Every structure is written in structure tokens, then in C-alpha cells.
Amino acid sequence: MAGPFEDAAAAYKRGDYESAMRLYRPLADQGDARAQNSLGRMYLRGQGASRDYREAMKWFRRAAALGIPDAQYNLGEIYLREYGVTQDLVEAARWYARAAEQGHVAAQFTLAVLYTIGGGVSKNPQKAAYWFDRAATQGNPDAQVELGILYGTGRGVPKDAVTAYKWLTLGQTYARTNAVRAKAAGSLARLSKDMTPAQIAEAQRQVSEWKAIPAKGGRS
């Protein structure tokens, strides 16, 4: 049966932001973490009220403290992308890590990038590979391409052409942008030059049998 939160979510979905905010507000005040995160998102985007980064952060913090991974990810985004605050990569990485540990795929991908470049955390190819793998396993094509490149070069993981080919092919297949698709295609072309037909056939077999695995929590 629908309740107040569902009514608010329905109003938001149909673009009635004033009604959504009016319905979310009392729920958020009463401690509903989902409503708090939703309210924070609306203030962040300027939906139903003027954009207000301070209010957005307030509600995200409340929801994040109650363990909502979306809110933790949103706080990471605020600190990374300077939404009303000075960029703080250490704080961003801290919030991404909390969301990533709960299985939040976008947080896992971004945390992997931060470990790759040493942004807010010490550069660590092994941890980058770990988080790319977690996101890739859930079906994130950006992470699949990056993981394929790592296996192709042996950075952070043992060099493995078959595994590299598998992830690059999956990333190319499910890519959401032309840039990612082109990156995968270029890497595949370079990789396949040094692979045997048997290796390529094995990689293609693994691609055909691959299925995304739902998120699970747990620290690295």
C-alpha cells in the first residue's frame, strides 16, 4: 500500500516538485532517512525551492549518518565537485568509501579513480583495481573498461589478456557514451594483436556466460 513517502516519490516523478517537497519535509523532520536524502537532492538541484547547497548538505548528512549510501555518495559529490564548498578530496574520498563499502556502484567507480590518481587518498593500483572490480561485477561499463585496461597492462592485478579482453568487450557492449565505447574498442584492438585465437575464443566464451552480480557490502 502507498504511504506518505510513496506519495512524495510519485509527485517527484511526475515533476510536481512543490508537492514532493511539501510531503518529504515532515517525513525528513521525523527522521525518515529516505526522505532526508530526497530532500537533500531537491535542494541540490533547485527543485521545489531555490538551489541551496547548505540545506542539501544538512539533509544529506542526516541521511548519511543513518546509513543511506546514496546520501553518502552525494556528500562525496559535493566535496569533489565544489557544490557550495571548497573542494576537499580527502573528505570526498571518505564519503565515497562509506557508500562504496555498502555496494554503491557509482561510489565504487569514483573511489577507484581516486586511488588511481591519488586524489584524497594515497595512489594505490591494487585498491583501484579492487574497486573497479566491485563496480564492474555489478555491471558498470566505465569500470569494466578501466578494469580491462588494468588486466591488459598488469597494473594492480596480474597481467591477463583473456580477462582483459572479457572486461573490455563487456564495457564496449554496455557503454553509455561514445567516448567509453571508443576507448574500449581501441584497447581491444591493441590487446588482440598479441592474443592467440584460442585466447580470444575463451574470452568470448566468458563474455557470453557473464552475468552481473548484485551489490554486497564489505570493506576492502
Residue 217 confidence (pLDDT) above 70: no
**Quick one: which of 30, 6, 85, 27 has its CA closest to 39?**
27
Q: Residue 112: CA atoms inside 13 Å, Cβ hemisphere, count?
A: 27
pTM for the predicted model, two decimal places: 0.93
155, 123 contact by CB (below 8 A): no
- Alpha helices (H) along the chain: 4-13, 17-29, 33-45, 53-65, 69-81, 89-101, 105-117, 125-137, 141-153, 161-174, 178-192, 197-209
pLDDT at 214: 84
Residue 159 confidence (pLDDT) above 60: yes
171, 137 contact by CB (below 8 A): no
Reported as a pLDDT band with limits 50, 70 and 90, residue 218 is very low
3-state secondary structure 11-30: HHHCCCHHHHHHHHHHHHHC
Q: What is the mean pLDDT of the chain?
A: 96
Residue 220 confidence (pLDDT) above 70: no
pLDDT at 23: 97
pLDDT digits (tens, 9 = 90+) for 115-145: 999 999 999 999 999 999 999 999 999 999 9
pLDDT at 216: 63
Residue 85 confidence (pLDDT) above 80: yes
